[in-house]
């Protein structure tokens, strides 16, 4: 069959093109549509002090943002619907029961300049913000077919996007002046944020995609548990110094359970929910140049992300675009690839000669089919200082894949070990796989929205040649 041919062919090409983990370039068509390109999805019980009974969801889009890429910088697309999906019934079948859509509107304020931001930006309402974005959220109860629209916070202030971190002259004290003031509390008590942040994903992408050319001492098979990167000082975080556009939402756990309860018994179905993010555009776009484009028709899905590493490490290249446009409820059609992944047979076994579990891999099918990130809501959040980057593999069940996914979870190392068989009952030959990058380049926050402030255009690690070792700017 054609699909089988894709799975078995061209070993060397696939090794370099779809190896270990996320590259933020998760499908050929999305290379042409970066504002709809999802990078990562996070969902977890909040570990901010006093917020343990809340759930946090966030999605990052448009990866590898160069902090000094003016004069227009990066923005959310006005023609993309950014969607959070919650599944809380039917045994978590990949069909949404609750949807939160976020839609953006861009205002280009009249000005004589050639830049989007001018002068010293003193607040989120500063008149020097010439490219001004606001947004509306739509909260949908799928079963009841009801929707609630919100476009202002509890004080009537428009929900606005945080401006970029230009540098110490234009955006002094960025986080206090612009970052945290862009966290809005809604009339229903929820909190929301939209704007640029540091990319919390960390991974030696350069070494991996150079056909597994790991930097000595190679971390792939030995000692990857020995601390935050100290054992492998030559490993480089390929995402250090780059920003992403983040949408983050905090809401009560009781708002996402099927019966509105705060679960305490993991044996009950209501204790388990799952989530994923998706982006959508209207079916038709007409470009009557030189006028602005016109969009109409139903929304169609452009991209989706549930668990980390799915489309990057498990779905063959020729099927990635089709996978991105499909629904989690239909993921059984990909079982042949997920239950017998080429990554395991072609790389772990074929290149490194590892002993691997037999197929079909029911452990992987249980995580990735459907591809939704599951959360056991009875698991208490772990304070930031006590979290293990390896989540359940490090004795911290509040991390991926059991307790959702947090910004600091080392999903590359966890995912590698899962592929090697660590989740298979009775299989004990799973080596301590890792890429050697064991923490984010800058510290994440212990408060909402948890991602660190964005790197500044004036001073950032890519500009200053810090070799993947980022620097904190503007906090």
Name which of 216, 271, 211 is nearest 10 in CA terms. Answer: 211
Q: Which H helix or E strand runs over 185?
A: strand 184-185
The candidate with the shortest Cα–Cα distance to 195, out of 206, 179, 207, 208, is 179
In a domain, 197, yes or no: yes
Maximal C-alpha separation, the chain: 69
Domain membership flag for residue 410: no
pLDDT at residue number 364? 96
Asked whether the beta carbons of 362 and 339 are under 8 A apart, the reply is yes
Domain of residue 251 covers: 33-201+241-307
The tokens describing 339, both together, are 């239950």
Residue 106 lies in a domain: yes
Length of the chain: 475
H helices of 130-234, in order, are 174, 205-209
Is 58 domain-assigned? yes
State the DSSP code for 332.
Answer: G
Whether residue 181 lies inside any domain: the answer is yes
The count of structural domains within the chain is: 1
Low-confidence ranges of the chain (pLDDT < 50): 1-21, 223-224, 226-228, 465-468, 475
**pLDDT number for residue 228:** 45
Residue 116 lies in a domain: yes
At residue 458, the pLDDT reads 85
CA 250 to chain CA mean position, Å: 15
Lookup: tokens for 60: 């990052």
| pLDDT attached to residue 469 | 52
* Contact criterion met (CB below 8 Å) for 104 and 161: yes
Question: Is 413 a member of any domain?
Answer: no
pLDDT at position 206: 86
pLDDT at position 186 = 98
User: E strand or H helix at 325, and its extent?
Assistant: helix 320-325
Judge whether 355 lies within some domain.
no
pLDDT digits (tens, 9 = 90+) for 454-471: 999 887 766 554 444 555
Distance CA 269, CA 272 (A): 6
């Amino acid at each position: 069959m054609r699909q089988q041919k894709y799975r078995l062919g061209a070993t060397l090409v696939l090794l370099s093109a779809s190896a270990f983990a996320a590259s933020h370039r998760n499908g050929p068509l999305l290379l042409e549509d970066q504002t709809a390109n999802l990078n990562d999805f996070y969902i977890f019980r909040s570990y901010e002090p006093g917020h343990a009974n809340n759930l946090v969801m966030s999605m990052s889009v448009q990866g590898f943002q160069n902090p000094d890429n003016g004069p227009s910088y990066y923005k959310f697309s006005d023609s993309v619907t950014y969607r959070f999906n919650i599944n809380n019934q039917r045994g978590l079948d990949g069909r949404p029961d609750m949807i939160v859509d976020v839609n953006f509107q861009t205002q280009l304020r009249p000005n004589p300049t050639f830049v989007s931001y001018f002068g010293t930006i003193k607040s989120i309402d500063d008149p020097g913000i010439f490219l001004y974005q606001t947004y509306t959220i739509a909260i949908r109860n799928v079963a009841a077919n009801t929707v609630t629209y919100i476009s202002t916070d509890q004080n009537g202030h428009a929900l606005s996007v945080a401006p970029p971190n230009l540098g110490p002259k234009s955006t002094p004290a960025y986080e206090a002046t612009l970052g945290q003031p862009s966290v809005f509390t809604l009339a229903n008590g929820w909190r929301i944020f939209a704007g640029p942040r540091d990319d919390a994903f960390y991974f030696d992408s350069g070494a991996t995609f150079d056909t597994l050319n790991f930097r000595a001492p190679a971390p792939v098979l030995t000692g990857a548990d020995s601390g935050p990167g100290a054992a492998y000082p030559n490993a480089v975080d390929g995402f250090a110094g780059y920003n992403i556009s983040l949408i983050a939402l905090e809401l009560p756990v009781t708002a996402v359970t099927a019966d509105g309860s705060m679960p305490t018994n993991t044996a009950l179905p209501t204790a388990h929910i799952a989530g994923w993010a998706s982006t959508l555009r209207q079916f038709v776009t007409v470009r009557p140049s030189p006028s602005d484009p016109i969009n109409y028709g139903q929304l169609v899905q452009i991209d989706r992300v549930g668990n980390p590493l799915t489309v990057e490490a498990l779905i063959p290249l020729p099927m990635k675009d089709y996978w991105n446009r499909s629904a989690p409820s239909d993921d059984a059609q990909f079982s042949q690839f997920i239950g017998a992944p080429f990554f395991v047979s072609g790389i772990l076994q074929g290149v490194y000669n590892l002993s691997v579990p037999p197929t079909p891999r029911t452990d992987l099918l249980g995580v990735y089919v459907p591809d939704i990130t599951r959360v056991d809501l009875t698991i208490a959040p772990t304070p930031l200082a006590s979290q293990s980057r390896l989540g359940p593999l490090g004795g911290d069940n509040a991390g991926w894949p059991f307790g959702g996914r947090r910004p600091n979870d080392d999903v590359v190392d966890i995912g590698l070990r899962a592929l090697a068989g660590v989740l298979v009952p009775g299989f004990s030959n799973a080596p301590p796989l890792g890429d050697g990058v064991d923490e984010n380049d800058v510290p994440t926050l212990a408060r909402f929205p948890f991602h660190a402030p964005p790197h500044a255009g004036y001073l950032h690690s890519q500009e200053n040649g810090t070799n993947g070792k980022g620097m904190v700017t503007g906090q």
